[in-house]
Amino acid sequence: MDIKLIERIEAYLQGDMTSEEVKTFEDQISFDSELREQLMLYKEIEFSMRQINSIQEKDLNETLSNLNKKYIKEVHLEVQKEDTEPKAIPRDKPNYFRLFSALAAIFIMILAAYFLLFRAADPQGLAEKYYAENLVELSQTMGSTEDLIQLGIAAYNQKDYQRAQVYFQEALVQDNKNSDAIKYSGLAYLSEKEYDNAIAAFQELASLPDLFSNPGLFYQAFTLMMRNESGDLERAKLILERVVDQNEEGSRQAQEWLGKL
């Protein structure tokens, strides 16, 4: 595809043509199937670029720039070679459309790969997925409806996190080392997006000695990923490494996340 044609397509798509130029261009599209294909291809590339515009823009632009330099250089060399060859020797013209189509396909594949890769590596996205799959509803013990913890869990499962918190705090008044009350209180804070309170609860949980299984460290890292403020990812990764090294509760999930972050 030559530069002048690209400029015409851009002018057409951006509304920079006069009404007469638009009519002439659309008339040409109606009978020129190759031009029609080139226009559709250009629109597809433009759409793909807009789709991933907000994702790792700097890295993506660098990659595309490198590809652009490579392929534009090849086109330039091909044209230069044609111009310097003796005119008496028959030679086919460079197939710009085929080259442009191949380049466009490469661009689109790279854009799609970046889109999928960086979505998968988004810490907040990973944490939200884990929350949706594991913490939207908590398991209850049958026949314990009068227990404060179970009442709190019932309220939590009804998404009444404030009422759940009341029950968990009452349980902590009775026993301030109640690991279940601390854990569920932290999860209720987390569900309300009170991340600082959730982290404090999970730190307290992690400090409790002699627990057979303690998810305190894992939940700290998980909450940092959910909050996703400046510095949170670095802190979360350090904590996840501790979870894996010490084989704490959540170590398998921690290892999986570390492989993606």
What's the rounded Cα separation, in Å, for the pair 60 and 55?
8
The pLDDT of residue 87 is above 80: no
Evaluate whether 179 touches 211 at the Cβ level (below 8 Å): yes
Give the CA distances from residue 29 to residues 7, 14, 129, in Å, rounded to whole numbers and listed in that order: 15, 17, 47
Q: What is the CATH number of the domain that holds 242?
A: 1.25.40.10
What's the rounded Cα separation, in Å, for the pair 22 and 13?
10
- 221-240 residue pLDDT tens: 999 999 999 999 999 999 99
Q: Are residues 85 and 154 in the same domain?
A: no
Q: Which of 81-85, 210-214, 257-261 is predicted least confidently? A: 81-85
What's the rounded Cα separation, in Å, for the pair 23 and 42?
19
Q: Are residues 44 and 130 in the same domain?
A: no
Q: Are residues 137 and 65 in the same domain?
A: no
- Point out the domain boundary residue: 104, 120, 136: 120
Q: Are residues 183 and 211 in the same domain?
A: yes
- 13-36 residue pLDDT tens: 878 888 888 888 888 888 888 888
> Look-up: residue for tokens 């330039």?
76
pLDDT number for residue 113: 57
Q: Are residues 136 and 222 in the same domain?
A: yes
Q: How many domains does the chain have?
A: 2
Q: Are residues 157 and 78 in the same domain?
A: no
Q: Are residues 129 and 254 in the same domain?
A: yes
Mean pLDDT computed over every residue of the chain: 80
Evaluate whether 169 touches 185 at the Cβ level (below 8 Å): yes
pLDDT number for residue 246: 94
